[in-house]
Amino acid sequence: MTEVGKKNDLIVLTEGALITALAMVLSFVPHSTGVSSVEFVYGLIPMSIYALRRGLKPGLMAGLAWGILDLVLRGFSSGGFLNPLQGFVEYPLAFGVVGLIGLGSVQVKRSIKDGKSALGLIIFYSALGFFAKYFLHFIAGGIYWGTYAPKGMNPWIYSLVINGGSFIANMIMLVVLAVVLNRVFKQLIIVKS
Ligand code: 218
């Protein structure tokens, strides 16, 4: 690898560490939606921007690091960890797959460089990553969180309401921000050399 290649890898990694730290810090800001267990996850916004800016592998790696940190700093103490398999699926894996947003990196950056808003593509690929995360929470919810369902409610319906609700809440947050701050999003996604 060339010296320039190595230096760039170091920049990508450093950005990933900063974004992960930011996502983690944001989870300590109150983020209730008013409906119990349905939360805004503010860190999804910087993660989405990072994955679109740097692509699939950096996105997956940053998401994975975020998931491990969230498990250690919040999961164990908040009661979000029930057993090793559930913990693995809902933390490293569910946060990691947010990086799938990076699948849209090339297309989104091309669209921005062509002078377009890229809004549809940003929303589409963010939806892909957010959906992957909440689909895993939905599966885990149906299997492991049924005891928290209101009396008589089917665990899978309960999980669909909670995790489907979280997916929708976070999509609304992303769409509003991507529309209002479209210029900022575009500037943050494009890598200036
Ligand atoms: C129905 C239900 N309730 C709770 C959980 C657990 N869950 C949901 C979303 C996100 C996370 C990760 C920490 O923010 C967790 C542990 C569930 N899957 N389903």
d(CA 137, CA 121) in angstroms, rounded, equals: 24
Residue located nearest, by CA, to atom 17 of ligand 1: 141
In this prediction, residue 56 carries a pLDDT of 98
Q: How far is CA 96 from the centre of its chain?
A: 8
| Positive or negative: CA dihedral 111, 193, 55, 130 | negative
Residue 99 near residue 56 (C-beta atoms within 8 A): yes
User: Residue 42 Cα, ligand 1 centroid: separation in angstroms?
Assistant: 16
Residue located nearest, by CA, to atom 10 of ligand 1: 137
In this prediction, residue 188 carries a pLDDT of 98
pLDDT digits (tens, 9 = 90+) for 114-144: 999 999 999 999 999 999 999 999 999 999 9
In this prediction, residue 31 carries a pLDDT of 82
Q: How confident is the model at residue 4 (pLDDT cuts 50, 70, 90)?
A: confident
Q: State if residue 163 touches ligand 1 by the CB under 6 angstroms criterion.
A: yes
Please report the atom of ligand 1 found closest to the CA of residue 166.
Answer: 9
User: Residue 140 Cα, ligand 1 centroid: separation in angstroms?
Assistant: 8
Phi, psi values for residue 32, rounded to 5°: -70, 145
In this prediction, residue 137 carries a pLDDT of 98
> CATH fold of 3-189, please?
Arp2/3 complex 21 kDa subunit ARPC3 (1.10.1760)
Q: State if residue 170 touches ligand 1 by the CB under 6 angstroms criterion.
A: no
pLDDT digits (tens, 9 = 90+) for 97-107: 999 999 999 99
d(CA 101, CA 55) in angstroms, rounded, equals: 8
d(CA 191, CA 193) in angstroms, rounded, equals: 6
Q: Is 191 left (phi over 0), alpha (psi -120 to 50) or beta?
A: beta
Pick the closest to residue 95 from 115, 117, 72 (CA basis). 72
In this prediction, residue 33 carries a pLDDT of 81
The H-assigned helical ranges of 44-181 are: 44-54, 56-70, 76-78, 84-88, 94-96, 105-113, 119-144, 155-180
pTM: 0.96
Instruction: List, in sequence order, every residue forming a beta bridge with 39; answer none if it has no partner.
Output: 32
pLDDT digits (tens, 9 = 90+) for 54-101: 999 999 999 999 999 999 999 999 999 999 999 999 999 999 999 999
In a 10 Å sphere around its CB, with 0-12 CB exposed, 13-18 middle and 19+ buried, how is residue 31 labelled?
middle
Residue 193 has pLDDT above 90, yes or no: no
